[in-house]
Amino acid sequence: MLEAYLPLIFMLIFGFGIAIIFLVLSEWLGARRTTKEKQSTYESGMQPFRTARDRFSVKFYLVAMSFIVFDIEVVFLYPWAVQFKMLSPEAIIAMFIFIAILFAGYFYELRKGGIEWQ
Q: Give whole-number Cα distances, 91 to 14, 16, 77, in Å.
A: 47, 45, 12
Domains of the chain with CATH codes: 2-112 (1.20.58)
Give tens-digit pLDDT for 70-87.
Answer: 888 888 888 888 988 898
Positive or negative, the Cα torsion across 51, 54, 57, 63?
Answer: positive
Model confidence, pTM: 0.49
Give tens-digit pLDDT for 17-26.
Answer: 999 999 999 9
Question: Does pLDDT of 117 surpass 80?
Answer: no
